[in-house]
Amino acid sequence: MFQDKSNPSTSLEQLGEFQLIKHLTKNFKIHHTSTVKSVGDDAAVLDLSNGKTVITTDLLVEGVHFDLAYMPLKHLGYKAVMVNLSDVYSMNALAKQITVSIAVSNRFSLEALEELYSGIQLACEHHEVDLVGGDTTSSTKGLLISITALGQADEAKITYRSGAKPNDLLVVTGDVGASYMGLQVLEREKQVFLVNPQSQPDLTNYDYIIERQLKPEARKDIVELLEILEVKPTAMIDISDGLSSEILHLCEESEVGCNLFEEKIPLDPQMMQTCEEFEINSTTVALSGGEDYELLMTIDQKDYDKIKGNPNLTVIGYMSEPNEKAHLITRANQKIALTAQGWKAF
Amino acid sequence: MFQDKSNPSTSLEQLGEFQLIKHLTKNFKIHHTSTVKSVGDDAAVLDLSNGKTVITTDLLVEGVHFDLAYMPLKHLGYKAVMVNLSDVYSMNALAKQITVSIAVSNRFSLEALEELYSGIQLACEHHEVDLVGGDTTSSTKGLLISITALGQADEAKITYRSGAKPNDLLVVTGDVGASYMGLQVLEREKQVFLVNPQSQPDLTNYDYIIERQLKPEARKDIVELLEILEVKPTAMIDISDGLSSEILHLCEESEVGCNLFEEKIPLDPQMMQTCEEFEINSTTVALSGGEDYELLMTIDQKDYDKIKGNPNLTVIGYMSEPNEKAHLITRANQKIALTAQGWKAF
């Protein structure tokens, strides 16, 4: 679980910047004919003439967004790509290209960066994405990863946050809150490790929730599923900051209200069990946990038959008139105003 | 010259991340119909169906790439955009969109970020570029800026590093080495200031070279000029790491040699004077200084009449057979092998 410090170590000073980029990206394959020229010139050249292009970017900072004490570098590379692809999928587009820039302090060896890039490469292969550029530089402290992702879709398919209408169904993919509980377990084990470095954590009862935290999977499959089901959501967003915060974004951008039913929110049994163990309310975690990288969408009621019974899609509420605002309807049938308590960058 | 610490200060904790992005980007105008949807959703939506797209990205780190002791934040914002646009122009493309991500420690106030974004906005207006997205997060130390730029060009116009042929003319825009000497003056004044904080530097004799360092201008005008002159360079690169290093890139990617004539290298009189004052060889500075953001290109000899006498374009040498390698022909008619001594990130 914790970083192995005994690995062979090659300092980054031994390589120049150009050699380093070449070295780190040499095994990456190109999947798309839209990638005309990849890494190696002042800029990459792309043919994006087919449909519309979506572009999104995210910055991950050590000590703010991740802790290398329990985040293996390969997982970090994978997750950093997922965070960006999730934004592309939330536009109902398919990801095609990414650029990856990193700033690293001299405490990182070449082998450490190879680990990071092996995770990036795995993500590119699983999601058929081309790495087309980036920058590699030194930092005065820690590791920072900046990724920009490009995707493509027909204009008619692109799904914004702003299209939800009153009475649309609110639908979520997968389950929520597990990633946050995985983080709680990892934080606890880190504290144990700091007190007793000889301790070996037994995480068998937490495998699912830890995987949700360390190796989330952006929902490319949902974009493909919606295509097969012939459903175009009226609005869509990905869940990075927590269900509650994302619902409020949809309400604000679409100018609608929302009723969310507590009993409908999909929770994983392991997540619920861990909530009990930590004595945290599982609904609070589901609403505010964040880092689920599931998709939250609104669907016209006429499309209900198309999604009914699909195990990937759970109806958790419906949109209402704007003056009704956003509410949670509890199991006790109480109506509570939703507030954004998701992860905040500051 | 040095940062005014007496400004009103609003802490970033007072604003959420979403409010901050909205606030910082609210005055940015959209110039291009290819920007379908800008900041405000999970991703921006672009129509890049016209020609080919080029994409490039750069990361600037405080303490590595810039020093806020003498770099005003507005200039830094401007320069950070220029660094990226220069890469787009070096592909013979015109820049259309950028994304800007920043990581800042809590020592920065809202007013400081407004200064930074005012420089970014000025750059966007001067170069007609749309800011379409970004990420804003906290850092554990210092300021970091990550910019990705998109440009467009007809496929037939795109100029790679790899197209130079033996006997092509080697042509540079503007003059080189001034930015490096501007940095030397600023570093000297910083040392004076550290010893005597009451000192006010007199920089009147260094205005040009300091502007070259603090507010470089990427050569959009050259892309437009080449269009008017009906010249397509056989290869092109921008000068970020130093003339010498860029020539070697062209030679390597195009598999040619090069003869560069010392006496032809365009130097600004103020740069030469400052070299004398610092007792540095001006040719060494021109070759290795970097951060000029001029364009270096190779042109077929048949196009010579089209560029002859143009004050923006100086012929400084010619490409040769690959086995001849890259050489500098000195004023004393000595032939010296060129080596890359440009700025290195590590």
Three-state SS string across chain A, please? CCCCCCCCCCEHHHCCHHHHHHHHHCCCCCCCCCEEECCCCCCEEECCCCCEEEEEEEEEEECCCECCCCCCHHHHHHHHHHHHHHHHHCCCCEEEEEEEEEEECCCCEHHHHHHHHHHHHHHHHHCCCEEEECCEEECCCCEEEEEEEEEEECHHHCCCCCCCCCCCEEEEECCCCHHHHHHHHHHHHHHHHHHCCCCCCCCHHHHHHHHHHHCCCCCHHHHHHHHHHCCCCCEEEECCCCHHHHHHHHHHHHCCEEEEEHHHCCCCHHHHHHHHHHCCCHHHHHHHCCCCCCEEEEECHHHHHHHCCCCCEEEEEEEECHHHCEEEECCCCCEEECCCCCCCCC
The per-residue b/e assignment along A257-292, b for 16 or more CB within 10 angstroms, e otherwise, is bbbbbbeebbbbebbbebbeeeebebbebbbbbbbb
By Cβ distance, the residue of B45, B59, B155 closest to A158 is B45
List CB contacts (< 8 A) between A45 and chain B.
52-54, 91, 158
User: A177: left (phi > 0), else alpha (psi -120 to 50), else beta?
Assistant: left
The CA–CA distances, whole Å, from A327 to A163, A235, A261, A343 equal 19, 18, 9, 20
Q: How many angstroms separate the CA atoms of A107 and A64, rounded?
A: 18
Asked if B346's CB is within 8 angstroms of A16's CB, the reply is: yes
By Cβ distance, the residue of B54, B140, B146 closest to A59 is B146
Stretch 285-324 of chain B: residues touching chain A, C-beta under 8 Å = none
Low-confidence ranges of chain B (pLDDT < 50): 1-7, 342-346
Residue indicated by tokens 């600023």 = B186
Tell me which chain A residue has its CA closest to the CA of residue B52.
Answer: A47
Residue B154: φ, ψ to 5° = -65, 145
Q: How many angstroms separate the CA atoms of A61 and A46, rounded?
A: 29
Asked if B61's CB is within 8 angstroms of A103's CB, the reply is: yes
Asked if B138's CB is within 8 angstroms of A57's CB, the reply is: no
Complete DSSP assignment for B188-230? HHHHHHHH-TT-----GGGHHHHHHHHS----HHHHHHHHHHT
Q: Looking at residue B68, what DSSP letter applies? A: T
Q: B15-157, superfamily in CATH?
A: PurM-like, N-terminal domain (3.30.1330.10)
Nearest Cα of chain A lies from the Cα of B58 at a distance, in angstroms, of 6
The CA–CA distances, whole Å, from A31 to A127, A128, A130, B249 equal 10, 6, 6, 27
3-state class (DSSP) for residue B20: helix
Asked if A144's CB is within 8 angstroms of B16's CB, the reply is: no
Asked if A161's CB is within 8 angstroms of B42's CB, the reply is: yes
Interface contact A67, partner B, CB < 8 A: no
Q: How many angstroms separate the CA atoms of A247 and A158, rounded?
A: 19
Which of B10, B37, B49, B57 to probe by mutation at the A interface, max A CB count within 10 Å?
Answer: B57
Contact indicator for A345, B14 with CB cutoff of 8 Å: no
| Number of neighbours of residue A197 by Cβ within 10 angstroms | 8
Asked if B141's CB is within 8 angstroms of A140's CB, the reply is: yes
Which of A57, A141, A245 to probe by mutation at the B interface, max B CB count within 10 Å?
Answer: A57
Tell me which chain B residue has its CA closest to the CA of residue A56.
Answer: B43
For the record, the structure tokens of B10 come out as: 């609003």
For the record, the structure tokens of A142 come out as: 């820690």
Q: How many angstroms separate the CA atoms of B280 and B209, rounded?
A: 15
Query: What predicted TM-score, i.e. pTM, was given to this entire model?
Result: 0.92
Asked if A133's CB is within 8 angstroms of B57's CB, the reply is: yes
Nearest Cα of chain B lies from the Cα of A248 at a distance, in angstroms, of 12
Q: How many angstroms separate the CA atoms of A233 and B54, rounded?
A: 31
List CB contacts (< 8 A) between B56 and chain A.
42-44, 133
Asked if B41's CB is within 8 angstroms of A253's CB, the reply is: yes
By Cβ distance, the residue of A64, A103, A237 closest to B42 is A237
C-alpha gyration radius of chain B: 21
Contact indicator for B166, B74 with CB cutoff of 8 Å: no
Asked if A36's CB is within 8 angstroms of B52's CB, the reply is: yes
Low-confidence ranges of chain A (pLDDT < 50): 1-6, 342-346
Nearest Cα of chain A lies from the Cα of B106 at a distance, in angstroms, of 9
Interface contact B248, partner A, CB < 8 A: no
Residue indicated by tokens 């991500």 = B101
Name B153's bridge partners.
Answer: B52
Q: Looking at residue B255, what DSSP letter applies? A: T
Contact indicator for A150, A133 with CB cutoff of 8 Å: no
Asked if B97's CB is within 8 angstroms of A55's CB, the reply is: yes
3-state class (DSSP) for residue B284: helix
Name B56's bridge partners.
Answer: B149
Asked if B15's CB is within 8 angstroms of A346's CB, the reply is: yes
Determine the angle formed by the axes of helices A207-214 and A269-278, rounding to 10 degrees: 100
List CB contacts (< 8 A) between B50 and chain A.
49
- Would you tell me which CATH number, out of the four given (3.90.226.10, 3.40.50.1700, 3.90.650.10, 3.10.20.30), belongs to the domain A169-337? 3.90.650.10
For the record, the structure tokens of B174 come out as: 């503007």
Question: What is the tens place of the pLDDT at every residue in A25-79?
Answer: 888 889 998 898 888 888 899 999 989 999 999 999 999 999 998 899 999 999 9
Asked if A57's CB is within 8 angstroms of B146's CB, the reply is: yes
Tell me which chain A residue has its CA closest to the CA of residue B61.
Answer: A139
Q: How many residues can be counted in chain A?
A: 346
Contact indicator for A57, B99 with CB cutoff of 8 Å: yes
Asked if A43's CB is within 8 angstroms of B52's CB, the reply is: no
List CB contacts (< 8 A) between A48 and chain B.
46, 48-49, 53
Tell me which chain A residue has its CA closest to the CA of residue B149.
Answer: A43
Asked if A150's CB is within 8 angstroms of B55's CB, the reply is: yes
Q: How many angstroms separate the CA atoms of B11 and A165, rounded?
A: 37
List CB contacts (< 8 A) between B17 and chain A.
344-346
By Cβ distance, the residue of A16, A37, A87 closest to B43 is A87
Q: How many angstroms separate the CA atoms of A316 and A336, rounded?
A: 15
Name A133's bridge partners.
Answer: A99
User: Kind of pairing, strands B130-138 and B94-104?
Assistant: parallel
Interface contact A330, partner B, CB < 8 A: no
Stretch 133-152 of chain A: residues touching chain B, C-beta under 8 Å = 133-142, 144, 146, 148-151
The continuous run of DSSP H or E covering B173 comes out as strand B169-173
Q: How many angstroms separate the CA atoms of A71 and A187, rounded?
A: 11
Residue indicated by tokens 């038959």 = A305
Q: In terms of Cα–Cα distance, which of A260, A251, A257 is closest to A325?
A: A257
Q: How many residues can be counted in chain B?
A: 346
Residue B273: φ, ψ to 5° = -60, -40
CB-based contacts of A185, cutoff 8 Å, min separation 6: A203, A206, A209, A210, A274
Asked if A45's CB is within 8 angstroms of B48's CB, the reply is: no
Residue B134: φ, ψ to 5° = 160, 180
List CB contacts (< 8 A) between A65 and chain B.
137
Q: How many angstroms separate the CA atoms of B85 and B76, rounded?
A: 14
Q: How many angstroms separate the CA atoms of A149 and A131, rounded?
A: 9
Name A315's bridge partners.
Answer: A171
Interface contact A44, partner B, CB < 8 A: yes
Fold of the CATH domain A12-156: 60s Ribosomal Protein L30; Chain: A; (3.30.1330)
Q: How many angstroms separate the CA atoms of A254 and A161, rounded?
A: 7
Sign (positive/negative) of CA torsion B177, B179, B182, B184?
A: negative
C-alpha gyration radius of chain A: 21
Interface contact A345, partner B, CB < 8 A: yes
Q: Looking at residue B28, what DSSP letter applies? A: P
Where along chain A do its domains lie? 12-156, 169-337
